[in-house]
Structure 1
Amino acid sequence: MSTQTGRRHVAGLTAWDRCAVMGVVNVTPDSFSDGGRWFDTTAAIKHGLDLVAQGADLIDVGGESTRPGATRVDEAEELKRVVPVVRGLASEGVTISVDTMRASVAEQALRAGAALVNDVSGGLADPRMVPVVADAGAPFVVMHWRGLLAGGNVRGSYHDVVTEVADELHARVTAVLEGGIAPDRVVVDPGLGFSKDAEHDLVLLAHLERLLGLGHPLLVAASRKRFLGRVLAGPDGAVPPARERDAATAAVSALAARAGAWAVRVHEVRATADAVRVVRAVERAAARGTEGAR
């Protein structure tokens, strides 16, 4: 744990002294945000390298859209999309996270050079996932998940969203630890937008300290999501398209960094990279001011 900020680090990865920036490379034709733009392997690798040049600390590569109503791709297609991109970026020295719900994809991506597995189901979609990650000794992101979003939000009803998400994450983390993944390699993610409406997402962002209280590094993935569109809606209720939500995303990144998040996952890197560095500068200034007052 960082003694200056209280920000936890993930074993096996670089110990950044600030909130890390995870850039997104979707190798899909149907992502809600940028589907099809980086579907070609060469274009996806170039995009990942561009994101690193803009300030990303690690790159999250995914070959399956998890937008509401998306149809799952088959295993062979997901492997075809993901593994060459992971291999190409890893060969350039990029720290790679693989975004997948399939153990076979995680396994081959780790062999190709991925350093982290980001599973939006927290290991629930594939019973082989946790054993595969445990055997590899890789870090694992456990996201709050209540099922595939076929047809829209699934089970999005909460009496107390913060308590219920924290409790459900705690239960899933316990299962992952019992499955053999080391405690210092577990990351938690509140799953913004997954089985949650805009108000749920905003309340969770307002209470990130409850999720940090689980005792694991926190990943916040708010980039371009629907709740930001609701916040930015005009007087007529018109919601801006996903690619016009990057300034709002950077604002969330600053809030998450200030709260102590380990990383933020974003599509447009530069503004968020600037935001987390400003937050770190403010934290340092606050520490100097405290020392001077003693």
Structure 2
Amino acid sequence: MLTMEDIGALAAANAGAFTTEIEPFTIGGRTFDTDSEPLIMGVVNRSRDSTYRDSVAPTPADAVRRARILFHQGAHVIDIGAESSRAGGLRVSTHDQIDALIPVVEELSADHVPVSIESYDVDVIQAAVSAGACVVNLTGTRDDDAIFDIVGSAGASLLMCFTPGETVRDELSIRIEADPIPALIEHFEPRIEHAQSRGVRSIAIDAGLGFFYGPEVDPISKIRHQAQVLLHSFRLRSLGVPSCQVMPHAFDVFQEEFRSAEGVFAVLGFLGRVGILRVHEVARVRASLELMRTIDVEL
């Protein structure tokens, strides 16, 4: 059970982390202080393998339509991918990913809708950035040198994800540790320095909460782990950059009300000072964040 006393104790034990300054994040030429305005990243999937069916866009026109809806609901940037990160998802060739993504990126960019491209493929990322994507959501470490160079040369922003393997498709399970934060810092610290050395100026990090959990991890343990990492995200501020977290769906708890889950987890993310929330339910999450910015504890 989570209580106010628990949250108070967590904050007291890590008081310095709350005040650690972090860099702003840039999206399409606009720079945001994610402490004062947490950003919403809306999701559009060109892959039919996504478990969140409402995010699936079978055609480029469907993807553009959904992206426009999410943008007008309050998303600051639209994250588009063409290959599912889930275990067993279909492998999509570089050529097919480019065909699925580039018309969408071009049309949205022409409409001044900021686009993030989710990929670990160098050629896909290069094509998307050339077409106007202003954020790269990097789901692997295999080609960091080449991808950091692409992002730096284009003046784009980089969201680097934690993956246990070289790419998210390696299907190595996220490990549930007693305290995952030190391992995340150890993973990201040298990568951030590496990216900066290759010209990347705007960086955020993602702990990979939405990636593969093996069959040895029962659903409730997964939900508990995701919630704990959200609440502890402020400890990642020592890296000097904003943190991005996917908002869980927690189907085993919410069941037929699973579409409400992201709005609830957004509250935990806000308390944990998550700077970018990657979501499917933009309107629900926007309302939750607005509530948290409106209320206080003073009587």
Q: Deviations over 1:155-211 (max 9, x none)?
A: 6264632211222122322332233322xx010111104355514323312311111
Structure 2: distance between partners of 1:150 and 1:115: 24
Cα deviation, residue 212, structure 1? 2.0
1:7·1:261 contact (CA, 8 Å) conserved in 2?
Answer: no
Task: State the match for 2:98 in structure 1.
Answer: 79
The SS at the match of 1:213 is: helix
CA distance in 1, matches of 2:275, 2:55: 29
Calculate the aligned-residue CA RMSD, in Å.
2.7
- 5+ residue gaps in structure 1? 234-239
Deviation digits for residues 2-61 of structure 1 (CA, Å, limit 9, x no counterpart): xx9967521443426411111101111111212884120001100100111222121111
Kept in 1: contact 2:230–2:274 (CA 8 A): no
Describe the shift of the 1:35–1:208 C-alpha distance in structure 2 as closer, same or farther (beyond 3 A): same
Deviation at 1:245, TM superposition (A): 2.2
Q: Please give the alpha-carbon distance, in whole angstroms, between the structure 1 residues aligned to 2:270 and 2:22.
A: 9
Name the CA distance, whole Å, in 2 between partners of 1:222 and 1:138. 24
CA distance in 1, matches of 2:181, 2:194: 20
Residue from 243, 251, 257 that aligns with 1:229: 251
1:77-99 Cα distance to aligned partner (Å, 9 max, x none) = 00011111111111111111111
1:102 to 110, 121, 126: 121
Q: What is residue 248 of structure 1 aligned with on the other side?
A: 261
Aligned to 1:133: 151
2:161 to 118, 143, 153: 143
Decide which of 226, 231, 243 is 1:201's aligned counterpart. Answer: 226
Match of 2:191 in 1: 172
Partner letter of residue 164 of structure 2? R
CA distance, structure 2, for counterparts of residue 45 and residue 215 of structure 1: 34
User: Distance between the aligned counterparts of 2:43 and 2:104, measured in 1?
Assistant: 12
Which residue is 1:15 aligned to? 32
Aligned-partner SS, 1:64: coil
Size of the alignment, in residue pairs? 268
TM-score (norm 1): 0.81
Please tell me the residue identity of whatever aligns with 2:203. Answer: V
> Does structure 1 conserve the Cα–Cα contact (< 8 Å) formed by 2:266 and 2:285?
yes
Question: Following the alignment from structure 1 to structure 2, what is the Cα–Cα distance between the partners of residues 207 and 36?
Answer: 28
CA distance in structure 1 between the partners assigned to 2:41 and 2:55 by the alignment: 20
Q: Unpaired runs of 5+ in structure 2?
A: 1-18
Given that 2:46 and 2:81 are in contact with CA atoms closer than 8 Å, whether structure 1 keeps it comes out as yes
Query: Is residue 86–residue 212 contact of structure 2 (8 Å, CA) maintained in 1?
Result: no
Moved more, 110-119 or 41-50: 110-119
Give the counterpart letter for 1:258 in structure 2. Answer: L
Query: CA 1:112–1:221 in structure 2 vs 1: closer, same or farther (change >3 Å)?
Result: same
Whether the 8 Å CA contact 1:26–1:35 is kept in 2: the answer is no
2:204 to 187, 194, 198: 187
Q: Percent identity?
A: 25
Contact 1:187 1:218 in 2 (8 A): yes
Aligned AA (2:130) = R
Distance in 1 of aligned mates of 2:169 and 2:133: 28
Q: 1:35 to 1:72 in 2, by over 3 A?
A: farther
Counterpart position of 1:260: 273
